[in-house]
Chain A
Amino acid sequence: MNLNMNSVETLVAQIHGLSGSISDINQLHSLLKQSEDLFQSESTRLAPLLTELDPFMHSLGYLYILDACTSAPISKEQASELVLSIARFINLCAAEQIRLAPDKFTSVCKRFKDQVMLLEDPMQGVAPMLTAIRKLQLSSEHLTTLHPDFLLFCLLAKCYKPGLSILEDDIFDVDQPRDFFLYCYYGGMICIGQKKFSKALELLHNVVTAPMSILNAIVVEAYKKYILVSLIHVGQFSISFPKYTSSVAQRNLKNFSQPYLELANSYGAGKISELELCVQAHNEKFEFDKNLGLVKQVVSCMYKRNIQRLTQTYLTLSLQDIANTVQLNSAKEAEMHVLQMIQDGEIYATINQKDGMVRFLEDPEQYKTCEMIERIDSSIQRIMMLSRKLTDMDEQLSCDPLYLAKVSL
């Protein structure tokens, strides 16, 4: 035993010594890899060693030791301490060093997540996870295993803004498909919470149409939300899947979401009363899936869409007529709806209370302002960048030996 401890001490000394330049770090890395078993066997006694190491300068060594420490089962009292120390490490560590051992870093963070969940205080986990992601990512387009955990924290802590900031990055590079599914699903939920329905729709669409060989529960749940968000944001839902959807999804998804498809059908028919009947009929199912809130939003969206359609045909219309066409109960209710829509910027209109008339106006956007020009310009830049990416990928693929082998057969 003592022998082992001595070896560990030597290792610590080497960590101290070899944490200077890049070549040293690489050497250290191989040493550490060889000493895996050593660490495992001494896991219980490694904790005090951490105090000797500096999390920033000796990040790699610290990481290995930390990993070994946390692999042992942790008691509840130690949990909060551990959480704090890992958080500290994450905040202080050097990104270049830990990128040499991403698996270790990920497993440390995973354990961190488990402990935070045990403590039932997700708020603690939000900031450290964000930092962890930023340090682990090779680029902002890279999806790590930590992304979904981070988003889960945001959801549980109801702290959506940091989540949104991560979601704004475009992802092109994925490590594990499973992470991708969870990331999109949680991301979709966050966007729904923040009423950013267009981004939610995009994320959920990506889950549903992702390539997969077998169906998983994430996709099923995502599909249900996808139907609802599609009804809210676009006002219609088309049952047919795009061509690139996997055949597994195309065949099986519909079987799991019958009540939602019926809801979409009755929405398409356009009658509020039918829609409400449908909601009543499937109430328990929606509640069980925790989608009742969204369903209620779908119903209120229907009123909005009907009123919006009126703006296309009428210049002025009495509140009573609006109430009749849209199947509201009274002119007063119609007035409230229209008022709300004007305030939310969903229609442009003025209400004349004396005559009980609503005058619909045109969209005042003239597309002549500087902001508009900047918006168009930035769109152009983005699209040029995307095109370049596309050509690069195409070139890469045409040189890929595996692909060529497959194709030339």
Chain B
Amino acid sequence: MEAEDDATGQMIEDEEIYVNGGEDGDESKRHRPIISSEQLDIEAYAALYSGRTKISRLMFIAEKCGNASMQLDALRMAYDEIKKGENTQLFREVVVKIDGRLGPNYGPDGAWADAVDRRAEFRKEKLENELNAYRTNLIKESIRMGYNDFGDFYFAHGQLGDAFKNFVRTRDYCTTSKHIVHMCMNAILVSIEMGQFTHVTSYVSKAEQSQDALDPITIEKLRCAAGLALLEGKKYKLAARKFLETGPELGNNYTEVIAPQDVATYGGLCALASFDRAELKSKVIDSINFRNFLELVPEIRELINDFYTSHYASCLEYLGNLKANLLLDIHLHDHVETLYEQIRNKALIQYTHPFVSVDLHMMANAFNTSIASLEKELEALITNNQIQARIDSHNKILYARHADQRNATFQRVLQTGSEFDREVRAMLLRANLIKHEFNLKASRKH
């Protein structure tokens, strides 16, 4: 990447747009970056995931994409995927959404649905009988397996609440820490699907307590789950740290929840929005660990580097291009706007930080925006005290303004003094009043 000398120069002369990816001419689909500024390749995207999350993500894309052909594509793939499983509720939903648009092959298949439901009934009865038998025999291990089977059963049929309850019930019958970890992982999976991330956090911490039973892959899985929970809770800095700590051992082992591309995307964006320069360099840019992840999403890698080397126009351009696809991600959807705003503000602040005066024309060029809107943005940042500067609106220059510590201290001192004065006097008065009332009451009693 460019050396930092560019940034320490006086003003930005011209912007350079980096070539996307910098990799070979791509033939094989596997090497083409999946999260990029081109329109999302749904098949490739869906191939990253497995299990229920694949279906949820496809349905989410169908809902949010706003493009009929893409929507139908997603619904079609969702339909196929659901048919491989046993979730009749979801099946009915997807059929309603398709609304016959994909032809007779993708219509309501009542026969299949009924067959699945009947099988489900049988299985449920069988499981119940088995479980009762185990319970009377009081064999802990079997009871635990029984509840686990129930949990899996409910999960496959889309009854997430019941699945969760059953998984949690195995707690009482766990005898080794491996069992506990197993329970936690199941609980985490169901909670993520249900969107209840408080449970995720608690079960992650529970699992992490049994250190000895954790193999490296599980550790990475737990980190990702924790990161997701923090992301949902809008704690971007902590989420970024979790994602950045995830090691490459994760690989494709947690596709029922998250893909390595996601780790890179979420981690990269959150870090950019919340880390300061030093942390960004040490934990993201220089991190060998994370570099492996970033290779999977070269545009994000590029934009982080651009930000660090102060090529803001190019960085913001990448962000703009990625936005459409990021909005289709089920976990990131609600946070895209906030993260983008934070990144943009940081860019503005970082731009003005080293200078005593900044020409607003050049700054507007660097950020590819008009002077009027730039002035408005800067005004907001100054009012929030994120930039210490003042705008010379006549000459369109931004002047850095370093508050006079001495004067400020004097002002604060005088103010605190008079406040103390006022408060103590009021307090003495009130005490006096209360004493009078009390004396009055006391004298009345006598």
Residues in chain A within 8 A of chain B (CB atoms): 170-177, 180, 202, 205-206, 209-211, 213, 244, 309, 312-318, 321, 355, 357, 360, 363, 365-367, 372, 375-376, 379-380, 382-383, 386-387, 389-390, 393, 397, 402
Contacts and interface: CB of A to CB of B under 8 A. Distances in A.
Interface string B348-385: 00000000000000000000000000000001001100
B414 A376 contact: yes
Contacts of A312: 382-383, 390
B395 interface: yes
Contact of B424 (A210, A213, A316, A390): A390
A366 B414 CA distance: 14
Contacts of A174: 429, 432-433, 436
A365 B437 CA distance: 47
A210 to B, nearest CB: 6
B233 interface: no
A402 B383 contact: no
A367 B410 contact: yes
Contacts of B438: 402
Contacts of A379: 414, 417-418, 421
Contacts of B391: 313-315
A65 to B, nearest CB: 31
B414 A316 contact: no
Contacts of A210: 429-430, 433
> Which bracket fits the contact residues of B?
35 or more
Contact of A316 (B392, B425, B432): B392
Contacts of B420: 383, 386
Given A202-B422, A312-B382, A211 B437 contact: yes
B431 A393 contact: yes
Contacts of B394: 316-318, 355, 357
A397 B438 CA distance: 13
A145 B392 CA distance: 58
A130 B106 CA distance: 97
B426 A206 contact: yes
Contacts of A316: 392-395
Interface string B203-231: 00000000000000000000000000000
A392 to B, nearest CB: 10
B406 A367 contact: yes
B399 interface: yes
B434 to A, nearest CB: 5
Given A379-B421, A389-B424, 14 more contacts: A171-B429, A177-B437, A202-B426, A309-B383, A312-B383, A316-B393, A366-B407, A367-B410, A375-B414, A376-B414, A376-B417, A379-B418, A386-B420, A390-B428
24 contacts: A170-B425, A171-B429, A172-B425, A174-B429, A175-B436, A176-B436, A205-B426, A309-B383, A312-B390, A313-B390, A314-B390, A314-B391, A315-B390, A315-B393, A316-B392, A317-B393, A318-B394, A367-B406, A380-B417, A383-B420, A383-B421, A389-B428, A390-B428, A393-B431
B393 A318 contact: yes
B435 to A, nearest CB: 8
Given A313-B383, A379-B418, A172 B432 contact: yes
A201 to B, nearest CB: 9
Closest 7 CB pairs of A and B: A367-B410, A315-B390, A315-B392, A316-B394, A313-B382, A379-B417, A317-B393
